Chain A
């Protein structure tokens, strides 16, 4: 997406204006309301696994995000440790950074949310699949087949949970055809992600998404000379930040490694998405300096001590081509 100056100003205003006008009114918030439009409501009888973003208690957000980040780092390490064992620490840390960026880009580090129910939280159109448009017929079929059927359907009927004081939800894409922290497509990933109910677990969802992107990452990294955008002039060096951007633009967002260099194409119809990913990558890479990853206004990711140290170490290693492991090893589950 190539935005005009006017639009860029509008973006800046959208970020600054609410902060200025509302800063005086900061007080206890019930929930992040715009997330209401990004959620399916889960059947209360379903047992989910993994951390839940309790959307009302600010004090616990740090605990939540630290737990999620720990899962991400562990799963990323499992996928990429071969590089580390081979002594290719830069290949390893590039994948670790990629793994921290994709769930920010895709699901804002949110998988499950729990919030108090004021009667408007459960969206019947979302939970019945009505928001899935005409073009998403296949996703609708998968939605009915896997999420709304069985003895205990995964998604609730809103009228049946109207009296529940709290509701548990799962993040979805704007039209409901993607789901979870990794925004896995219901249309394309029904044979494993849906069939094996991987969405019921944060860890399993992260593992699925990272495994998928690793298939592309491994391929383009090995065949790096086939992609002009991944090497510097005269192919002297591998550009690891571009490797991260290319892995997302190609395999993850386009479904094809052939689109790896899409992010360099100024005329691409998906330039906006690629620029947005670049901004999220910058947010992640800026963590050691800022101590926070701004997810959205009012929700910055600050992390607990051990996870903060591990994330900082990963990023510093990546940026400085080092391989310090003290903090990372502390949070890895043996």
Chain B
């Protein structure tokens, strides 16, 4: 145990150390190094806070928000750097800014939001938001950036733009569940949804597939989704096969599906192969065909550094045999 004075002394040394470290390199965001920075934290003066207020009015001016009873809420929503940028990218008006804030409040269930809006107007807002975000994500992540230039962290598949987009897609799904399918079908742009099939976020890809099926119907959705097969990998590829399962309009599409699945198992990266194989029971393919295509997995026994993956596959094969998804006499001998 150590006394407070000792700790103060240590804090002093650590403060010197901190400044030295900072002078030699960029700072770290990691927790325990945060400890050094923590000791040295400078308290914000009221002057600093006042400067923020100046920024606040600039932001409001930039997106054209007018004074109203909702202004405080809107200001709150645009105070953040990310939402500010998103609002700029989307060129939103006052109502849309308010809705953007609502969408980003994940403590409010989507159903609660949808219960108090006009479905038609809200669907228009959602479609507009989805369209704009899908475009700007491709350009510059809709302006999303690291926390600071020194920060190591940037998840390019899960920015606030991604989360807003995903929540918008989820809201469309709920509107369909609530009986507004025709409205959504009429308003949704299939080109936008098709573009989202190439998004780097698994959940966005998954929801876009489902909505395309509503918009285009089975046959056309199958063809459209299949065209983007190369954009799916890992868990997303497994969702791809699951979503297309039972969506065949004819035998030719069924065969195309089986061929694609076989190719993936033969030549996909290990993560994709394992992810897809884990979901085998969800795919509508006959046991004999699944067993035949699963033969290609036997290569994992001998590939360099793949024995750990083979162990997982072997366990899965045994389970699938027990469930009668694979032939009982399937083996890799």
8 Å CB contact of B13 from A14, A139, A221 = A14
**Contact, CB under 8 Å: A254 / B152:** yes
In the complex, chain A residues whose CB is within 8 Å of the CB of B1:
26-29, 58, 298
Interface flag for A308 (CB, 8 Å): no
A-contact bits for B289-317, CB 8 A (1 contact / 0 none): 00000000000000011101101101100
Give the nearest-CB partner of A251 in chain B: B155
CB < 8 Å: which of B20, B150, B153, B312 contacts A188?
A: B153
Whether B80 contacts A140 by the Cβ 8 Å rule is yes
| B119 contacts the other chain (CB 8 A) | no
Known: A25-B5, A137-B81, A223-B269. A106 touches B31 (CB 8 A): yes
In the bound complex, what is the Cα–Cα distance between A2 and B25 (angstroms)? 7
CB within 8 A of B82: which of A88, A138, A296? A138
Interface string of A22-56 (1 = CB under 8 A from B): 10011111111110011000000000000000000
- Chain A residues positioned under 8 Å from B11 (CB to CB): 33-34
> Would you call the interface of chain B mostly helix, strand, loop, or mixed?
helix
- Contact of A273 with B33 in the complex, beta carbons under 8 Å: yes
Q: A298 to B11: give the CA distance in the assembly, Å.
A: 13
How far apart sit A269 and B147, CA to CA, in the bound complex (Å)? 15
- The CA of A254 and the CA of B158, in the complex, are separated in Å by 12
Is the Cβ of B30 less than 8 Å from the Cβ of A29? no
Q: How far is the CA of A141 from the CA of B7 in the complex (A)?
A: 34
- Asked if B152 contacts A273 (CB within 8 A), the reply is yes
Q: Output the least CB separation between A268 and chain B (Å).
A: 9
Q: How far is the CB of A298 from chain B (nearest CB, A)?
A: 4
Q: Which residues of A contact B34 (CB under 8 A)?
A: 38, 173-174, 178, 183
Q: Tell me how many residues of A have a C-beta within 8 Å of chain B.
A: 99
Q: How far is the CA of A190 from the CA of B27 in the complex (A)?
A: 25
Q: Are A235 and B35 in contact (CB under 8 A)?
A: no
Q: Is the CB of A34 within 8 A of B35?
A: yes
Residues of B near A178 (CB, < 8 A) are 29, 31, 34
Which single member of B271, B305, B306, B315 contacts A85 (CB below 8 Å)? B315
Q: Which of chain B's residues have a CB closer than 8 A to the CB of A219?
A: 234, 271
- One digit per residue, 1 when the CB lies within 8 angstroms of any chain B CB and 0 when it does not, for chain A 96-111 equals 0000000011111000
A-B contact count (CB 8 A): 257
Residues of A within 8 A of B160 (CB): 138
Please tell me if A157 contacts chain B, counting CB pairs below 8 Å: no
CB of A119 closer than 8 Å to a CB of B: no
Closest to B4 in A: A33
Q: Is A289 an interface residue, CB under 8 A from the partner?
A: no
Taken residue by residue from 1 to 40, chain B's Cβ proximity to chain A (1 for < 8 Å, 0 otherwise) reads as 1111111111101101100110011111111111101110
When chains A and B are docked, how far (Å) is the Cα of A36 from the Cα of B129? 43
Asked whether B251 is an interface residue with its Cβ less than 8 Å from the other chain, the reply is no
Q: Are B107 and A253 in contact (CB under 8 A)?
A: no
Q: Which residues of B contact A152 (CB under 8 A)?
A: none
Q: Is B274 an interface residue (CB 8 A)?
A: yes
Contact residues in A for B309 (Cβ distance below 8 Å): 222
Among B41-49, B190-198, B242-250, the stretch in contact with A = B41-49
Interface string of A112-129 (1 = CB under 8 A from B): 000000000000010000
C-alpha gap A131/B315 in the complex (Å): 51
In the complex the two chains form, is A88's CB within 8 Å of B312's CB? yes
B156 and A255 form a contact (CB under 8 A): yes
Across the interface, A34 reaches (CB within 8 A) one of B7, B43, B274, B311, namely: B7
A83 within 8 A of B: yes
Residue interface bits A234-262, CB-to-B below 8 A is 1, else 0: 01111000000000000001111001001
Q: Cα distance A181–B32 when bound, in Å?
A: 11
B44 touches A297 (CB 8 A): no
Tell me, yes or no, whether A144 is within 8 Å of chain B by CB.
yes
Q: Is the CB of B43 within 8 A of A235?
A: no
Contacts of B156 in A (CB 8 A): 255-256
Q: Is A237's CB under 8 angstroms from B154's CB?
A: no
B77 within 8 A of A: yes
Min CB distance, B65 to chain A, in Å? 15
Residues on B with beta carbons closer than 8 Å to the beta carbon of A195: 106-107
For A136, what are the chain B residues with a Cβ–Cβ distance below 8 Å? 147-148
B326 contacts chain A at the CB level, 8 A cutoff: no
Complexed CA–CA distance, A221 and B270 (Å): 9
Q: Give the distance in Å from the alpha carbon of A88 to the alpha carbon of B163 in the complex.
A: 35
Q: In A132-157, which residues have CB < 8 Å from any B CB?
A: 133-142, 144-146
Nearest to A11 among chain B residues (CB) is B17
Contact in complex: B81, A236 (CB < 8 Å): no
> Which residue of A is nearest B315, CB measured?
A86
Minimum CB–CB distance from B169 to chain A (whole Å) comes to 14
Q: In this complex, what residue of B is CB-closest to A194?
A: B106
Among candidates A133, A146, A236, A277, residue contacting B30 with C-beta atoms closer than 8 Å: A277
What residues on B are CB-neighbors of A13 within 8 Å?
Answer: 13
CA distance A88 to B271 in the complex (A): 16
Q: A1-B21, A145-B105, A276-B28 are in contact. List 6 more A-B contacts (CB 8 A).
A: A86-B315, A108-B31, A192-B106, A225-B305, A254-B154, A276-B33
29 A-B pairs with C-beta separation under 8 A: A7-B21, A11-B17, A17-B9, A18-B10, A18-B13, A21-B6, A22-B5, A29-B1, A33-B4, A33-B8, A82-B312, A86-B311, A138-B80, A139-B147, A145-B107, A173-B31, A173-B38, A174-B34, A178-B31, A178-B34, A183-B34, A187-B82, A195-B106, A222-B269, A222-B270, A225-B306, A255-B156, A277-B30, A280-B32
- Going nearest first, the 7 A-B pairs with the smallest beta carbon separation are A22-B6, A255-B155, A195-B106, A106-B31, A273-B28, A174-B37, A141-B80
